[in-house]
Amino acid sequence: MLGSSRTAVTAIVAVLVGIAGLSYVLARAVAPAGAQPAAAQAPKGQAALVEFTTDGKLKQPVGYRKWVFVGSPLTPNDLNDGEASFPEFHAVYIDPESFAHYEKTGEYRDGTVLIKELSSVGSRKSPAGNGYNQGEFTGLEAAIKDSKRFKDEPGNWGYFSFGHKYPLKKEVAPNPTAACNACHDQNAKKTGLVFSQYYPVLRAVAPKSK
């Protein structure tokens, strides 16, 4: 008796899930034009990860602090003649669906968004010992793999900087190829132009890459 109830419930659930899925499609179909911001590589059925202006500038990304953390290189100003290229803590994030794809394939899918959020060195001492602790947020960078938008760039990656000092820029054009891409292409070619040698989170899940 319990078995047949379960079967019946399962059948009802299956039908309802199907109907709910259809209703979602319908709801999207009648959404006002422009309700979902257009993006080059938005996963189907999801809001765009990032948004561009009509003239190709990237709007300041949001929500990335809930993405997957990739790693945290640290280039303190005091070890870089007072001004590091990326001052100072780098918190690197990848969008969750691209991480899932990377877990399966070891590849960065078309549409991957990487965010590098920078923060200053704050306290040099804590109850945990001597070292470096994050101070305040100072900067924001993004790298986006998009075979249409950046078809002429090495690896189809576009790189953006919203500045290294608050307030950050609201929207920015891609950096010139020589500014970012050339170095990534030269130093991280084997790992899809991402410096995964510094990111154990990526190395741990990639099926083949190191």
**What is the dihedral angle through the alpha carbons of 94, 100, 105, 106, rounded to the nearest 10 degrees?**
30
Q: Which two tokens stand for residue 163?
A: 């500045």
Q: Which of 19, 38, 47, 62 binds a copy of itself (CB under 8 A)?
A: 19
User: Residues binding a copy of itself: what is the number (CB under 8 A)?
Assistant: 62
User: Which residues in the 39-68 window bind a copy of itself by CB under 8 A?
Assistant: 65-66, 68
x/- letters, 136..165, toward a copy of itself (CB under 8 A): xx----------------------------
Residue 1 contacts a copy of itself per CB under 8 A? no
**Which range of residues in 33-41, 55-63, 156-164, 194-202 is near a copy of itself by CB under 8 A?**
194-202
Q: Of 35 and 44, which has the nearer Cβ to a copy of itself? A: 35
Judged by beta carbon, residue 53 or residue 133, the one nearer a copy of itself is 133
Q: Binding residue for a copy of itself (CB under 8 A) from 1, 129, 152, 178?
A: 129
Is the CB of residue 102 less than 8 Å from the CB of residue 202? Answer: yes
- Strands 113-121, 134-145: pairing is antiparallel
CB within 8 Å of 121: residues ≥ 6 apart: 74, 76, 77, 78, 88, 89, 132, 133, 134, 135
Amino acid symbol at 201: V
